[in-house]
A and B are shown apart, each in its own frame.
Chain A
Amino acid sequence: MINFKINNIDIACEENTTILAAARQHNIDIPTLCNYPDLEIKSECRVCVVEIDGRKKLFTSCSTIATEGMIINTNSPKVLNARKTIIELILANHDASCTACPKNLNCELQSLANKLGIDDNRFPTVLEVKPLDNKNPVLIRNINRCIKCGRCIDVCKNVQSMSVLDVMGRSKDIEITPAYGKFLSDEYCVYCGQCASVCPVGAIIEKDDTDPVWEAINNPHLHVVVQVAPAVRVSLGEEMGMEAGSIVTGKVVAALKYLGFDAVYDTDFTADLTILEEGTELITRVTTGGTLPMMTSCCPGWISFAEQRYPEILDHLSTCKSPQQMFGALAKSYYAEKMELKPKDIFVVSIMPCTAKKYESQRVEMRIDNVNPDVDVVLTTRELSKMIKQMGINFESIEEVPFDKPFGITTGAAAIFGATGGVMEAALRTVYEIVNKEELTNLDFKSVRGLEGLKEAEVELGGQKVKVAVAHTLENAKLMCEQVKAGTSPYTFIEVMCCPGGCIGGGGQPYGTTKEVRQKRIDAIYSVDENMEIRKSHKNPDILALYEDYLEKPNSHKAHHLLHTYYHARKK
């Protein structure tokens, strides 16, 4: 134990604890800017400096280890002045047009400036305005707002192994930009949005697509349907001031109805459908000597990664579309017929935890008529919260309502799609029963749950032990791909999710996603599962009815046409 003092308070902490961590353990607040809980310590912004007795310089609390007998002052006049000066310097080179920024009231720089009492800047602006990077369908980079904190570089490189973003140039002219050119493009970026999720300011933001949604809602000729992804119901509450991990399923539906959508459906339904299609595909591959291991395909960030970096393993990917796109395809076929509507009069909106879904919905493969997108607009959790706030809905007190029919019944298996390991677990629940022709008694495959980067499990299928694996983040996906490429993968089935924690940690989720928050969202997801009446996809009566009515059977010709897709290597 190390004993020392912060602001005259006696502190005891473990050896090798930074001053910042020790202070936080004792509820002493030290402002930070470049620091982000799960990322590397950068000590670049220098905002978290503190004064240590007997030393002339100031020290960054994020990187300085507390030692025995230190006397630390976090708020001396020298410290306060330094902090304020640094923020003023940063503001003088920042496009601080706050009311014109989507991060307004959500911006860490803005709230820091406010906290430090900055109302006037001693330094004149030195900003040289540069053009926006807004040519892609997903993210907008506004370099004029970038404060060079390096967080985005860190996630993109160390969590996603993509290294798209880097520091270019030097001295006052440094820019944080794509290393391959000035603009993000689908040749090298997977649009996972993890960079946007950690950016403290409004320098990387998803494209705001709420306008076309409002227009559609207000267009009397359009039948506007919306689907809600599994991960949204355990995170949207945070945007509305509720605790992380609050389950708000019924409230989301109610809010969407209030916003004016004609029908509100659950992506969980097509998640169940995915399990039947993908499970059947797996069984076919295993029994007919098809390409193994099979890898899941519901995550568009992961698909882009495979297409860009591992084109040689594309035939390992399941041909199933993601649940979002299965929904879109059904909405413009089966549903249109059922509702006696023309597909072009149906407008499909998705609420997703994900920025890459915006890209997915625009892929040419995702158009059953080869012309119009099956999903018209994708909104992130954050964009939905914006619409709810615009309408002044009191979210916490809104009365819960159920999802609409005909896609009304869903299962616990679908609910867990939102967490890493969920697709695997859901698939195992189904594949086990179909192959072994016996009831699965213990539904919980605990070894594939949780935030561990790589997880594996062994199951007995048809008298044979089969190994499966789960990877999340592209850094871990890379390890799986290397094995598959080398032909050394010991697995039969691999689930890959691009974002840390799976979709609950997606790039479109509420800001401030940390390990702790991810765990809370995951816990919420599994409690949704536990409380479901049906917990296996193949026991979903609505799914069975859909096959009976329309799709015939899993992997039928019709199912293939609507629910499956193909991949292609991308040039680089």
Chain B
Amino acid sequence: MIQMKLISKRFGSINPLSIDSYMNADGYKGLEKALKMHPNKIIDELEKSRIRGRGGAGFPAHTKVRALSKQSGDKYIVCNADEGEPGNFKDRSIMENDPHAIIEGMIILAYATGASKGIIYIRGEYQNAIMIMKASIKAAEEKGLIGENIQNKSFDFKIEVRSGAGSYVCGEEFSLIESIEGKPGRSRTKPPYPTEKGIHNLPTLINNVETFANFSHIILMGGDEFAKIGTKSSTGTKLISLSGNVKNKGLYEVPFGTSIRDVIFKLGKGVKNNRKIKMVQLGGAAGPIIPEYMLDMSIDFDRFENFDSKTGTGAIIVIDDRFDLFDILLINMKFFVNQSCGKCAPCREGHVQIVNLLNKFINHRATEKDLMSLENLANVIQQTSLCGLGQSSMTSIISSLRYFRDDYFSKVRY
């Protein structure tokens, strides 16, 4: 058994549109328990669980939650369901299969932090998920789980659904905040951080869909017990969106520490037509490209940190030997040229030049000097960009320069 179903355990076995069906399957039990605890105690449990955010960066969840709880006045809790990173479909799956798990996690955090406003920001293309989340919020309201004076605990919490115009950068915290405020999605200067000044300058906590879906489990089993799942640096399970040239594409859930190879071969049943793996991209377009010999690497935030990127979303994209490295890089980089919000100079101007340079390689017109320029520019974009988009977009270039250097040399004209 490689899979371990915690977040996905109810997938397929309950009716997502029925709150009763959810409640009959331990739904809202975590909330029930949480409401009997002191808010600080809840955050203590999150800290003990050592859960890290599932939106990509793997930031310790309790730190942000605690920061928000210390702020006074109106506050926002936002569920980030923008899921714009190519190759990811885990957040959509949670919303479509177990929507109340997300809502329950949000209510628990609202109670723990004293936030009264909740927003679920869903990618515009996810029409079905939007419909389900709206219906689920209504059902929870009818049960008195959302609204005023919830469960006589004298706390109010409302949740509304917002949908984005489908731009990738809107998944980035500040762009998301701007977008919720009705402005074009562009990042902001930090500090102040969202937990200090977020939506309409009010303290705002943003977490990923999957992160929220974990909270009720943590409360139910206790932080210490949760921390026993996975590895030292990465506790709990991870939803993996497996795609590309593999036989069994799909969503899987494994404890942290599982190897990438096991996911591809044991769960995904290997490569289609038994071809060879040329490369694997982790996390999405902003993730690293690694060669076949690195597949024994385990799924673990500490290992991912070597790549400085959003590897932690859990996407695994398998690419077989029919493809050339530069085909993939060009697709990635053209994506970023269009998705850059245009605010900061290195990202706005840099991606255009990266595409120019890649085209030189593809057309066998690149020189050694171009190789140096490419490497230098990729590093500068990563080191200096304002937001996570530019800071992570170069990961595929930088990693492939490390692991596929010969592919570059083979295109250089001497």
Name A residues whose Cβ lies closer than 8 Å to a Cβ of B: 41-47, 49, 56-58, 60, 63, 65, 78, 81-82, 85-86, 89-90, 92-93, 122-124, 126, 147-148, 167, 169-174
Contact = CB atoms under 8 A, between A and B. Distances in A.
A170 B340 CA distance: 7
Given A89-B349, A172-B349, A43 B342 contact: no
A86 B337 contact: no
B343 A44 contact: yes
B298 interface: no
Contacts of B380: 81-82, 85-86
Interface residues of B, number: 34
B149 interface: no
Q: Most chain-A CB neighbours within 10 Å: which of B341, B342, B356?
A: B342
A89 B342 CA distance: 13
7 contacts: A46-B384, A57-B384, A90-B345, A93-B349, A170-B342, A171-B337, A172-B351
Contact of B339 (A42, A57, A171): A171
Nearest to B342: A174
B386 A89 contact: no
Interface string B341-376: 111111011111100100000000000000001001
A90 B349 contact: yes
Smallest CB-CB A-B distances: 8 pairs? A174-B342, A89-B349, A85-B380, A43-B189, A171-B340, A46-B384, A58-B383, A82-B380
Interface in B285-325: 308
A44 B373 contact: no
Contact of B191 (A65, A85, A93, A169): A65
B190 interface: yes
B384 A123 contact: no
B377 interface: yes
B345 A42 contact: no
A172 B349 CA distance: 6
Contact of B342 (A45, A82, A169): A169
Contacts of A82: 380, 383-384
Interface of B: 167, 184, 186, 189-191, 308, 337-346, 348-353, 356, 373, 376-377, 380, 382-386, 391
A89 B345 contact: yes
A131 to B, nearest CB: 20
Contact of B190 (A63, A89, A147): A63
Contacts of B337: 171-172
A58 B385 CA distance: 9
A123 B353 contact: yes
B345 A44 contact: yes
Contacts of B191: 63, 65
Given A56-B383, A81-B376, 15 more contacts: A57-B391, A60-B384, A63-B191, A85-B377, A122-B373, A126-B349, A148-B348, A167-B342, A167-B343, A170-B167, A172-B337, A172-B342, A172-B349, A174-B342, A174-B343
Contacts of A169: 342
Contacts of A167: 184, 186, 342-343
A122 B350 CA distance: 12
B112 to A, nearest CB: 28
Given A44-B343, A45-B345, A170 B353 contact: no
A171 B342 contact: yes
Contact of B348 (A63, A81, A171): A171
A81 B381 CA distance: 12
Contacts of A124: 356
Contacts of B342: 148, 167, 169-174
A89 B346 contact: yes
B82 to A, nearest CB: 16
Contacts of B186: 167
A124 B360 CA distance: 12
A174 B344 CA distance: 11
Nearest to A33: B345
A46 B391 CA distance: 13
A90 B383 CA distance: 17
Contact of A126 (B343, B356, B383): B356
Contacts of B373: 122-123
A45 B344 contact: yes
A44 B349 CA distance: 12
A170 B189 contact: no
Q: Most chain-A CB neighbours within 10 Å: which of B349, B373, B385?
A: B349
B358 to A, nearest CB: 13
B338 A46 contact: no
Given A41-B189, A126-B353, A46 B184 contact: no
